[in-house]
Structure 1
Amino acid sequence: MKLDVNILRYLSKDDFRVLTAVEMGQKNHQIVPLPLIDSISGLKHGGAYKCLRELLKHKLVHHDGSRYDGYRLTYMGYDFLALRVLLNRGHICGVGRMIGMGKESDIYEVSNEEGEVFALKLHRLGRTSFKAVKSKRDYVGKRTSFSWLYLSRLAALKEFSFMQALWDNGFPVPQPIDHNRHAVLMTLVEGHTMVQVNKMANPGQVYLTCMELISRLASKGLIHCDFNEFNLLITEDEEITLIDFPQMVSVSHANAQDMFDRDVECIIKFFSKKIGYSPEMDPALPYVRPSLQDAVANLDEKLDVGLAASGFKKKHQEHLEAFLAQPREDRESSSSEGEGEDDDDEEEEC
């Protein structure tokens, strides 16, 4: 669905109070009962119901009366909660065209009052999960599912935290600006995804840059786990920028070697099949495949340890890994409409 930010003009403070009330109610409910929305929003004389009619008109909430009279957020409703915060913080003032769309995220061009253009990534883990609630398997302790709000917020928190750490350490990544809920604001990087490239002027140099980047990440205690042509941007000068970080893991992970090797083989496969460049046949390369052991031997700082202070905790990593480890079709059925993680996380500002 198109993100129509013009709707923001027609929404009142009370509308956002009710929208936030639905979000808070979804911590413990798939469908939030109307009396609970009334209670959380604090509006009197049927104010919540009036606002819900307005929100329904703009498809920011969905009504469900199958078991009782209740509501849940739509992704656009969640988008608007995040956008309003970024707007109030002065980071953005307008949303432009969509520049990227995946199964689990959408990316838009946004601008601020100075006319600077940024990229806004909206995480959408379990994008279609709210269309049908299927039987769910137990994959984390006693829990059978996590809400798409919670999973998407975790993905955004992790991406922002890792991107900030990598940027601070001089890695070629977009500069993170801010985040809220499932949204991450970052600088807009020139270039296009490497998957769109058929020819390179210096394929050997670009290949080596990729391998050095994989090794350098490991020397900081990290493995990307999705290092491929879809997550690498390349400019006309063949400079590389790495994107997409929610799946990153520590080199101390039980499957670290397999994940490291998979990242390496993905790049070899791309260059061999798409670019027509075979690294094994290039004698000018100092090496074809980097070694995880060598990279870890040069480990000078474990960024994954330091990231715990950013708010992305071990339990968050476990929840997100459990979800991302599933086949994509299973992801859609294991993220529920509600049943959010009702821990001691601070309430989001609205």
Structure 2
Amino acid sequence: MKLDISHMRYMTADDFKVLQAVEQGSKNHEIVPTTLIHQLSGMRSMSGTNRSISDLAKLKLISKVRNAKYDGYRLTYNGIDYLAFHSMLNRNTVYSIGGSIGVGKESDIYKVSDKNGVEKVMKIHRLGRTSFHTVRNNRDYLKKNSKNGVNWMVLSRLAANKEYQFITMLYAKGFKVPEPFDNSRHVIIMELIRGFPMRRLRKHKNLPELYNNLMKFIVKLGCSGLIHCDFNEFNIMIKDESEIDPNDPTDVGFVVIDFPQSISIQHKDAEYYFKRDVDCIRRFFKKKLKYEPKDDPSMLDTDGFGDGYRYAYPDFHRDIERTDNLDELVQASGYSKKHPGDRYLEDAMEDMRNTEEEQEDDQENDEEDGEDVTEDDEDDNDEYYYSESEEEDSEEEYDSQEEENERIIEALSSGVGNLKMDKMGNYILED
């Protein structure tokens, strides 16, 4: 979807109160009743609430659902965009927003700057795009199994929060990842890496060193308790020569991005995803850079991989020995003690990992059939666009939720005593 925040300057404090009320009510309502929006917003008059609702609907920040049995609204992606930017503007982490610098499978990337003019990167998570073969199955699964109205907007928020936790912890531990600055809802602000994706790399002054350090990154991450799960040429940035610090021996010229799918080494499929990360790097170096090291038993050095070392590439059982508990600290997927809400995100991420595996298999089959992949084709495959149209939900899927909504509205109107508010600010009816 296209990012458009041009109307934010004209919005009032009351408009944001009402918009936040819709967001808060969406936590346990697919369609938030107008009466509930008024209660959560804290507005004095209902007429003021209705006026703000009308203005927000015109800007497509909230939408009214067709065939609903009661008057209500739900938040749109434009609406959650406005809320995220408003929060970051108040924290002075963002001052201006530039143009798009990338469109990925599940995110949009924009260049932004703070009030001091420092350029940064803004990543907006957009889970649920139609580029995924399994998106409809994901939606059906969430509708059938979620009691709290979990949807792709909620999952986008969870994914952004999880990735922010990952890169914050990894950056503090000295891993080559972008420096994180802020997180609000489904948006992350991080360091701007001046360089290019490794998929465009065709020559390098020291391929063995680059290969070795990439493999050591996978192993170091694994020994710390995590597996990237999407470690490939699309998620590795090669820094410009001028950006490499000659006085820093640890600056090897690459930065790893995109961590929301990372899992714990305790995950049941940890070995499989570890091997897949390793194989992605080996395949790219072999096909695009014509570099394919072999095991060399004559070498005794096992602190690295490739030319000059004993082993050509890492092995999960041989090289992974836990030295840290980052998976526990960030509650990574597969770790035994997790927040209950994370299971929805994990299910969606699992489908994404499976989808990427299918895409890799398709690409390998195409190459085996003799189909050449040109540079232009790679650029096309790197960007996944989607349609904004969504399927209309049937009335049956709303019956149970609507019944609860009607009971809450009746309780609000009559002032009955069994209407309570939980810690999250959501209305609940006590039996």
The normalised TM-score by structure 2 is 0.71
Highest CA radius of gyration, 1 or 2? Answer: 2
1:315 partner amino acid:
P
> Structure 2 vs 1, CA of residues 134 and 325 (structure 1 numbering), >3 Å: closer, same or farther?
closer
Match of 1:324 in 2: 349
> Of 180, 194, 215, which residue of structure 1 is paired with 2:219?
215
Deviation string, structure 1 residues 134-183 (Cα, Å, up to 9, x no partner): 97137996759721232111111111111011101100000111111111
Matches within 5 A, 1:1-350: 1-43=1-43, 44-67=45-68, 68-127=70-129, 136-137=140-141, 146-237=150-241, 239-280=253-294, 283-297=307-321, 299-308=322-331, 313-326=338-351
Specify the alignment match of 2:412 in structure 1. Answer: none
Deviations 1:251-306 (A, max 9, x none): 11111100100100111111112222223397545422212224332x22111112
Residue by residue over 1:67-110, the C-alpha shift from the partner in whole angstroms, topping out at 9 and shown as x without a partner, is 23322111121011011111101111111111121121111111
SS at match of 2:78: helix
Q: CA deviation at 1:316?
A: 4.2
- Provide the C-alpha distance between the structure 2 equivalents of 1:71 and 1:139, rounded to a whole number of angstroms: 18
Letter in 1 for 2:173: N
Q: How many residues align?
A: 339
Q: Which moved more, 1:211-220 or 1:198-207?
A: 198-207
Pair 271,139 (structure 1): closer, same or farther in 2 beyond 3 Å = farther
Runs of at least 4 residues off by over 6 Å: 131-135, 138-142, 336-339
- CA spacing shift, 1:65–1:104, aligned 2, 3 Å: same
Distance 1:247 1:329, change over 3 A: closer
C-alpha change, 1:277 and 1:301, in structure 2 (3 Å) is same
1:171/1:291 CA distance change after superposition, 3 Å? same
Cα deviation, residue 328, structure 1: 8.3
Aligned residue identity for 2:326 = L
The 1:9/1:329 distance shift into structure 2, 3 A limit, reads farther
Q: Give the direction of change, closer, same or farther, for the CA distance of 1:316–1:285 in structure 2 (3 Å limit).
A: farther
CA contact (8 A) 2:168 2:180 kept: yes
Query: What is the alpha-carbon distance in structure 2 between the residues aligned to residue 111 and residue 52 of structure 1?
Result: 31
1:124 Cα deviation (Å)? 1.3
For structure 1, list consecutive stretches of 5 or more residues without a partner in the other structure: none
CA 1:79–1:286: 2 relative to 1, 3 Å:
farther
Equivalent-residue separation in structure 1 for 2:289 and 2:345 (angstroms):
34
For 1:195 and 1:173, the matched residues in 2 are separated by: 18
Q: Percent identity?
A: 41
Compared with structure 1, are the counterparts of its residues 293 and 166 closer, same or farther at alpha carbon in structure 2 (3 Å cutoff)? same
- For the 8 Å contact 1:95–1:108, the answer to whether it is kept is yes
How many angstroms apart in 1 are the aligned matches of 2:74 and 2:58? 14
| Per-residue CA distance 1:185-215 (angstroms, 9 max, x = gap) | 1111121111122333322221111101000
